[in-house]
Structure 1
């Protein structure tokens, strides 16, 4: 989990944050920052696919193949700060910042925090916040390098075939002569094999 530097813990609902995260997953870091800036300016919307009850339809959601979309400004601004932080961490580790891609991004609910609000007639109601934990992994995108032409690999040859090849080396009719001594003293026995 990345540390939060110079920005408080997110106090926005997990639901709107989750939609933002799903939208930028797999994006190039430059494209993601441009997209989140456009969300804050309401030039592009975030498609709300899961927690979409009561959300209106907008024409900008068509590019995502969806009908419902919103512009969660607060969560988009927080994610911009987080991407900037991740970018500086990557630069510190010696990674190429221009080839970073968000490989994994996830949001989990954090423990709710309770404050109190004072109501009429002496009543007090809880004033809950639902913060979240965000996990983000950026990786360098692998550059496509053309493969060198592979040399035709030699087929594996069994031991029998190898022995036959050794016999036939040189000319086709070379003869290997084995001299076998017999146990009896009649003389050497010559065996010719092809």
Structure 2
């Protein structure tokens, strides 16, 4: 079965893609890592994730944040909850590296690339069992995920041209309304 990207880049010739499927890392942690770097320039995102691994900055937890502790490092993101999810960060970093290699293969400059689209989706649960008291068996499920990344060259800002003044054509009713307004203005001036 061929996997598809959820979105297609607006300019495929200026974009590079990377995808990971059934990654054995927590979906909830990976979702928050992806949300943190979405829209960042590629180099900035890579530096940020390196700093997360060194515990100098944190990943803000905006969703799936029940029971997540608070840290002062999260103030940077105007929130109080944050963590340093090592495994998820390493997985996303490897996918960013893969997307960067794909960009270089297409002769695109990685320094001009931004993380245009990144998403983590739930994958099929891994099923194991745990043995409990009195001969019972309990489910022991894992929450893997799929991750898709699209890098795109930053578009240059183009100045908006001056608006051309449009000639407005009036019908009979519009002309009559205009004359009435002019007459009212003349009467108030007298």
State the TM-score, normalized to the length of structure 1: 0.69
Q: Cα deviations across residues 12-61 of structure 1 (Å, max 9, x unaligned)? A: 22111111111000001111011111111111001101111111110000
Pick aligned residue for 2:80 from 67, 71, 80: 67
Q: Is the 8 A contact 2:19 2:148 kept in 1?
A: no
Alignment of 1:94 onto 2:72: no
Pick aligned residue for 1:113 from 105, 126, 129: 126
Change (3 A) 1:16 1:3: closer
- Structure number with the higher helix fraction is 2
Change (3 A) 1:78 1:130: same
| Secondary structure of the structure 2 residue equivalent to 1:36 | helix
- Once the two structures are TM-superposed, the CA of residue 125 in structure 1 deviates from its matched residue by 2.3
Q: Is the 8 A contact 2:25 2:144 kept in 1?
A: yes
| Secondary structure of the structure 1 residue equivalent to 2:115 | strand
- Once the two structures are TM-superposed, the CA of residue 121 in structure 1 deviates from its matched residue by 4.4
Q: Is the 8 A contact 2:22 2:123 kept in 1?
A: no
CA–CA separation in structure 1 for the residues paired with 2:112 and 2:59:
24
Partner of 1:27 in structure 2? 40
Structure 1 unmatched ranges of 5 or more: 157-194
Q: State the number of aligned residues.
A: 150
CA–CA separation in structure 1 for the residues paired with 2:124 and 2:70:
32
CA–CA separation in structure 2 for the residues paired with 1:57 and 1:37:
21
Structure 2 unmatched ranges of 5 or more: 6-17, 168-190
Partner of 1:171 in structure 2? none
RCO comparison, higher one (Cα < 8 Å, 6+): 2
State the TM-score, normalized to the length of structure 2: 0.70
Which has more radius of gyration? 1
- Once the two structures are TM-superposed, the CA of residue 146 in structure 1 deviates from its matched residue by 7.3
Alignment of 1:125 onto 2:172: no
Runs of 4+ in 1 over 4 A off after TM superposition: 144-147
Q: Greater CA deviation, 121-130 or 97-106? A: 121-130
Computed over aligned residues only, the root mean square deviation of the Cα atoms, in angstroms, reads: 2.5
CA–CA separation in structure 2 for the residues paired with 1:53 and 1:9:
24
Change (3 A) 1:3 1:61: closer
The residue correspondences of 1:123-162 to structure 2 (distance < 5 A) are 123-144=136-157
